[in-house]
Amino acid sequence: MIKRVITGKRLFVLDTNVLMHDPTSLFRFDEHDIFIPMVVLEELDRGKKGLSEVSQNVRQVSRFLDELMLKVGDSEAIAHGIPLPDIRIEDESPANGRLFFQTTQMEHELPKDLPGHQADNAILAIAISLQKSSPDTTVTLVSKDINLRIKATVMGIHAEDYYNDKVLDDVDLLYHGSTELAADFWDDLNRLESWTNDGRTFYQIEGDVVKDWYCNQLVYSPDESHAIEAVVRKISDGAADIELIHDYRKDSHAIWGITARNREQNFALNLLMDPAVDFVSLLGQAGTGKTLLTLAAALTQTIEHKQYIEIIMTRVTVPVGEDIGFLPGTEEEKMTPWMGALMDNLEVLNKTEVGDDWARQATNDLLQSRIKIRSLNFMRGRTFLNRFIIIDEAQNLTSKQMKTLITRAGPGSKIVCLGNIAQIDTPYLSETTSGLTYVVDRFKNWEHGGHITLLRGERSRLADFASEHL
């Protein structure tokens, strides 16, 4: 939908799915008024039962509405609008508009052959009626339903999506985790200092380019005369401390027999192997090596370096996560159908070990004994100490689910989120509303968080051709 600038008095008609999605949406329309049709209240009543996140949101909306109703005395006061509390949500302006309910029968003749759900058409009719009765007020229908917004626009009613759940307006604005230095980068610096500490090389630079950097961002220069690959360690007062990274593309620096095949994979391994980075997110299309690199780093730090007790791997069970409990067997047996990627990558990693069949089987048993598969359904209330936690297919998680998982991490634990926002399997999420997009954006300013977007596929020429041409 094309967003247009609207001035003057406005009245927002809320669809049921907006309240189901975000109960606090009642307080996110600044000084403007809100109208809730009676059919929306009926749909909320039907959706309040259950243990799902949507049902919980519906019950929270009901509690909000009940608290607002306690502040008015009678039906006449309700007809004049219930004042919304003067509160501030996050960094938004305080809500000081009024909340109106449908108190009378409102009818408008819709085309008899207008397709769609009866409740949607009822909401559309109410919006048209409100617009005709108040021509000086811009009536806006707010809905997450694309088809309803289209029908509203066709019928001459202004319609908008509910944008509060979107992390970014455009997924192209998402933080990539790395940046290429300009050819004249070294010439434009105000100050440059270098030193070494424990075999590590550091630079402190001062210049205008520093203000656009983030902690643990990877910077590089492809110029052969000034080739550099470094990670930003500290930013303060217009200056930045950067450290030269390890080159895991060399066989001598292999991680569990795995070497990086390109610059982005090398950046990823540096973040995965850095004990100072507690949270890592890896984005990339299929075949870029997200799972393989993460498992190699996890096994090295768990078995060889003894940094972590064990590896915990989990992923969302699509299509219906709640169905996991009805499958037979233990928790790990329930998750087995969704863990094919883990088994495939373990097979690759096990082949790197030299020895006969018995040795490889022994190694495989050792690997599987240190890797625990857990379901999202059993994560709430748990705390994982000194664990390497891998969240696979994180693009299918909501921001609330992502928060629930990340807050499970106890002292000494590391969390790695893997995913491809171009392959979202749930119909209720998009590239801009995915929980993976959410954490990438929120963790980019944290000194113990890192992110990298993998660009090149490393599977086969067949897979590369299919990704580009199909």
399-448 pLDDT tens trace: 888 888 899 899 999 999 999 998 888 777 888 888 999 999 999 989 99
- If one compares 230 and 376, the residue with the highest pLDDT of the two is 230
SS3 label, residue 335: helix
258-469: CATH superfamily: P-loop containing nucleotide triphosphate hydrolases (3.40.50.300)
Q: Which of the residue ranges 330-339, 392-401, 418-427 would you say has the lowest mean pLDDT? A: 330-339
Quote the mean pLDDT of the chain. Answer: 82
Q: Which of the residue ranges 82-96, 159-173, 249-263, 304-318 would you say has the lowest mean pLDDT? A: 82-96
Q: Is 45 exposed, middle or buried (0-12, 13-18, 19+ CB in 10 A)?
A: exposed
- Mean per-residue pLDDT, 37-45: 91
pLDDT at 31: 79
Given a contact cutoff of 8 angstroms between Cβ atoms, the answer to whether 27 and 94 are in contact is: no
DSSP state of 65: H
- Mean per-residue pLDDT, 44-57: 84
- Mean per-residue pLDDT, 22-40: 87
Residues 279-288 have pLDDT tens digits of 999 999 888 8
Burial profile 261-293: b = 16 or more Cβ within 10 angstroms, e = fewer: ebbbbbbbbbbbbbeebbbbbbbbbebbbbbbb
Where do the CATH 3.40.50.300 domains begin and end in the chain?
258-469
pLDDT at 343: 66
Residue 174 has pLDDT above 80, yes or no: yes
pLDDT at 419: 92
Return the closest-CA partner of residue 26 out of 53, 50, 57: 57
Residue 316 has pLDDT above 70, yes or no: yes
pLDDT above 90 covers a percentage of the chain that reads 33
Q: What would the CATH number be for the domain defined by 10-165? A: 3.40.50.1010
Report how far residue 389's alpha carbon sits from residue 205's, in angstroms, rounded to the nearest whole number: 35
Q: Is 441 exposed, middle or buried (0-12, 13-18, 19+ CB in 10 A)?
A: middle
- If one compares 339 and 371, the residue with the highest pLDDT of the two is 371
Where do the CATH 3.40.50.1010 domains begin and end in the chain?
10-165
What residues contact residue 78 under an 8 Å CB cut-off, 6+ apart? 69, 72, 101, 103
pTM of the predicted model, to two decimals?
0.74
SS3 label, residue 388: strand
